[in-house]
Chain A
Amino acid sequence: MIDPITPVTEDEFHAFVDGELPEDRRDAVEDWLAKHPDDAEQVAAWRTQADAIRARYGAVANEPTPERLKLDRLTRRRYARAGMVAAAVLAAFLAGGVAGWTVRGVSTVAPGRFDPFTAEALSAHRLYIAEVRHPIEVKAGERHLVPWLSRRVGTTLRAPDLGKFGLKLLGGRLLPGLNGPAALFMYEGANGERFTLYSSTQRQPQMAFRYNVVDKFAAVHWIDSEIGFVMSGPADRDRLGKIAQSAYEQLENRAPARRSDSGQLMSRRGS
């Protein structure tokens, strides 16, 4: 106690109050406070403040978690909200009650009216469904189809099962998209009609179904967890709406987009 003590600093008073003081300085600080009532009073005041703050707010942590903060609900709600909007849009399709979609011959809508993402998807659709011999790059039967496209797009893709609409997955191909690699899955019905599902990164807020028509073709576009999807097919809004809805439901629980991966993979693997 009598040996020359390293002077105690104010920082050490704080560290003392907050339990951050190194063990070997504790005695020095306590000695100092014993001899300096002004400093001791200050330290006591800080402790009182801390106690008052804990007394005022500490109990909040013991309150039951409100429903709206439960994780299950938060995750469910994110999808449910988009789902509800999608369902509402689907209902509008079916009822034909929304202006713009109801007008016969919507085909007059200029291509420039809809977003570039849908335009990209529709041009891929039109280009490849017309192909007789090479509509796709990798056949549905090949097991690496989905993992390969998932890796390149940078999310967990799935080729939805559209069997209940009489559509069979032919296969898929990789395309250059606006924001990076894009995947195109192609489906075919018994009468030769073809549908495609286009997906690629689209870092925009969640978006419910948006319907567009160009000539004989139509597209339903939606965004979920930063991946944009476009289901394209013949311009039959009722049927396309149901098919998109089914695809949406099958896809909604996929893993979130991985920001860095697709870029890295792209530079590493050339193919």
Chain B
Amino acid sequence: MRPGRPRAEAREHPLTGFRQGIEASIPALRRYARALTRDAEAADDLVQDTLVRALRSEHLFHGGNIRSWLYTILTNLNRNRLRSLARRPAMSPIDDNDAPDAAGPEAGSRDIERALAELVEDQRTALLLVVLEGLSYREVAEVQGVPIGTVMSRLARARLQIKAYLDGKRLSLRRVK
């Protein structure tokens, strides 16, 4: 089962359906933001900012795929967020209690979360838009404002790095046993 390909109704929205188009996109925006930030509170903040900005910028939306437009706003806001986070003093490392939970039932989902956290922002964005949000390569290229070739290479690097991370995890687990 492959959920996540965008549904047809969100694609073509006449300007009259602007508000409804935004409303229908909220669940997907929350999902994307959650995976981007891996923090429920920060994710909903991001969605809220996106919605406020979108509602205020109705006059800048010239038809087309409203969901892609919202993904673009959210992606840019997240970039700003990370930039301002980077200026703050570093938080304590999250890898403190790696060992105890590594083999628990949630280990798989926690691993993928950490693997995502390791990625460079642009690679994470490209991967999530394709895999989780079901955007086409062309749509991702528009959201990120880069050629399709760049999207492809970000995707390739993201997948390579996640694989390396998960393989490394498995190796170290085997060594412990």
Contacts and interface: CB of A to CB of B under 8 A. Distances in A.
Contacts of A74: 48, 51-52, 55
Nearest to A257: B59
Nearest to B149: A11
A110 B28 CA distance: 54
A54 B56 CA distance: 31
B143 interface: no
A60 B44 CA distance: 11
A68 B59 contact: no
B55 A69 contact: no
A257 B90 CA distance: 41
A66 B44 contact: yes
A211 B110 CA distance: 55
B117 interface: no
A133 interface: no
Contacts of B113: 56
Contacts of A61: 27-28, 30-31
B17 to A, nearest CB: 13
Nearest to B108: A52
A107 B28 CA distance: 56
A258 B35 contact: no
Contact of A45 (B3, B31, B59, B163): B163
Interface residues of B, number: 45
B44 A68 contact: yes
B42 interface: no
A18 B128 CA distance: 12
A50 B59 contact: no
Contact of B5 (A19, A45, A60, A78): A19
B3 A54 contact: yes
Given A18-B137, A56-B112, A65 B152 contact: no
B15 interface: no
Interface in A46-69: 46, 49-50, 52-58, 60-63, 65-66, 68-69
A27 to B, nearest CB: 21
B27 A11 contact: no
A258 B60 CA distance: 9
Contact of A256 (B59, B111, B163): B59
Contact of A259 (B28, B59, B136, B162): B59
Contacts of A15: 137
Interface string A132-164: 000000000000000000000000000000000
A42 B47 CA distance: 34
B34 A259 contact: no
A84 to B, nearest CB: 17
B31 A46 contact: no
Interface in A1-33: 10-11, 14-15, 18-20
Of listed A18, A49, A57, A74, residue having the most chain B CB within 10 A: A57
Interface string A67-89: 01101001100100000000000
Interface of A: 10-11, 14-15, 18-20, 42, 45-46, 49-50, 52-58, 60-63, 65-66, 68-69, 71, 74-75, 78, 225, 256-260
14 contacts: A14-B156, A18-B131, A49-B166, A52-B108, A53-B112, A54-B132, A58-B132, A65-B27, A69-B47, A71-B22, A71-B23, A74-B52, A256-B56, A258-B59
Given A60-B35, A69-B30, 7 more contacts: A18-B137, A19-B2, A49-B112, A54-B3, A58-B31, A66-B44, A258-B59
Closest 5 CB pairs between A and B?
A61-B27, A52-B112, A60-B31, A57-B35, A61-B31
